[in-house]
Structure 1
Amino acid sequence: MKKGFVFDLDGVITDTAKFHYLAWKDLADELGISIDLKFNEQLKGISRMDSLERILAYGNQADKYTEAEKEELATKKNTHYVELLQDLTPDDLLPGVKAFLDEANEKNIPCAIASASKNAPFILEKLAVREAFAAIVDPATLTKGKPDPEIFIRAAEAINITPAEAVGFEDAQAGLDGIKAAGMYAVGVYSGEELHGADVIVHELTDLSIDELLQK
């Protein structure tokens, strides 16, 4: 029996990938690095600093900046990203998410967010679903990012269940790898990226039955 749900944010609850891309592209342009949507696929599901490192390596600038300067660049990107998020509303929830969360709460199934995004609380407030989640893992408290299972193990602990009692939801391969490494049942949410290793793959949460998931 499963007892709780652990969700990634971007690509599962809402799609803010376009905002991430615009903010990263603007920063990359300033640095003289040209990135496109294909390259952006590499940035999904990983941390802000890891994303910056990949962009700098792609532009052959990996050794150009100090750690302090990299922190400033990442902060600059995030400031722009948050500005882009100001227009986010509940209408930006992905199909089926609100109904799924409502049913989970009605059935007293605890839900947690396991996202690399430090903006998760702000985004959930804008989407008007913050109260649906009993816990949000703070990525700043982690020692390793996805695909390491740490964030998913912490999310399960935060809602007082074991990883084996959790169902994890992810749209990125790095996240799915982390879910499986944690020992969770994995739901892959297809968002254009080919996914491997999921126990089930759906296009949206309306394709799932909560009662059937709990029996996994």
Structure 2
Amino acid sequence: MNTTQIACIFDLDGVLVDTAVYHYQAWKKLANSLGFDFSHAQNEQLKGVNRQRSLEKILNWGGITKTAAEQEELAALKNSWYVEMISKMSDTEVLPGSLKLLTELQAAGVPVALGSASKNSGLILERTGLSHFFNAIVDGNSVTSSKPDPEVFLKGAELLRTEPSNCVVFEDAAAGVEAALAAKMAVVGIGTAENLPGADVVIEDLSKINLEKLKALLQHKS
């Protein structure tokens, strides 16, 4: 049992590693192949949203209707481009503070889980050298409901054998913050306060937080 009475659940994209650029490039390539463009502003609206819902939004922006079978093919095509891109990732794409915080948590015996919508989390963690920090992985392959549903975080707490009230979630998406709050967990937002309503604290990146601050956050939350 960890003596700190704290467990941490991390989103992946935009929190630990920078994969947003690859999602954007793959979705843009798909949109362009269908005859319309896809902007950075639209890409922001896809943060924390699963692949199918993202595709539906993009088709709607392009004014295009596709059958369920056609949508499945397009989602698979986008994913194949994305996987090709992330297969070339390295530890240079780990975001500032991630390695230091994960190392500190591991040294203190704090259980850590991944809580991500990504279906490619295993490959990303492997390519960036972060796999060994995680006691549990919950991603798009193991949940049926996407954020803002709290399933991903509740399953993370269950796998870490701890109560939701002991958990601190790290999120960069409004849907993820909403999901963590619904799970009755503390939330550290990565980004800007206006984009992450409801987060208990918002920081620029993980270099701005440490274990002592996380303990204080949980104590204040309770």
Under a length normalisation based on structure 2, what TM-score does the superposition of the two structures give? 0.92
Under a length normalisation based on structure 1, what TM-score does the superposition of the two structures give? 0.95
Taking only the aligned residue pairs, the percentage that are identical comes to 43
Aligned to 1:29: 32
Distance 1:169 1:195, change over 3 A: same
* 8 A Cα contact 2:192 2:202, kept in partner: no
Post-superposition, which runs of at least 4 consecutive aligned residues in structure 1 deviate over 6 A? none
Aligned to 1:13: 16
Aligned to 1:49: 52
Deviations 1:136-190 (A, max 9, x none): 1132332211111111111111111111110000001110011111000000011
Structure 2: segments with no counterpart, 5+ residues = none
Aligned to 2:41: 38
**Aligned positions of 1:37-116 closer than 5 A:** 37-61=40-64, 64-116=65-117
Aligned equivalents of 2:192, 2:109: Cα separation in 1: 28
* 8 A Cα contact 1:163 1:184, kept in partner: yes
How many residue pairs get aligned? The number is: 214
* 8 A Cα contact 2:87 2:123, kept in partner: no
Aligned equivalents of 1:141, 1:9: Cα separation in 2: 15
**SS at the partner of 1:141?**
coil
What's the Cα RMSD here?
Answer: 1.5
How much has 1:191 moved relative to structure 2?
6.4
How much has 1:212 moved relative to structure 2?
2.8
Aligned equivalents of 2:122, 2:143: Cα separation in 1: 17
* 8 A Cα contact 1:11 1:191, kept in partner: no
* 8 A Cα contact 2:170 2:187, kept in partner: yes
Aligned equivalents of 2:9, 2:87: Cα separation in 1: 25
**SS at the partner of 1:43?**
coil
Distance 1:59 1:36, change over 3 A: same
Distance 1:191 1:48, change over 3 A: farther
How much has 1:209 moved relative to structure 2?
2.2
Structure 1: segments with no counterpart, 5+ residues = none
Matching residue's letter, 1:40: N
Matching residue's letter, 1:17: A
Aligned equivalents of 1:173, 1:113: Cα separation in 2: 17
* 8 A Cα contact 1:172 1:193, kept in partner: no
How much has 1:71 moved relative to structure 2?
1.2
* 8 A Cα contact 1:2 1:164, kept in partner: no
**SS at the partner of 1:186?**
strand
* 8 A Cα contact 1:2 1:167, kept in partner: no
Matching residue's letter, 1:21: Y
The worse-fitting range, judged by mean Cα deviation, of 206-215 and 124-133 is 206-215
Aligned equivalents of 1:187, 1:119: Cα separation in 2: 23
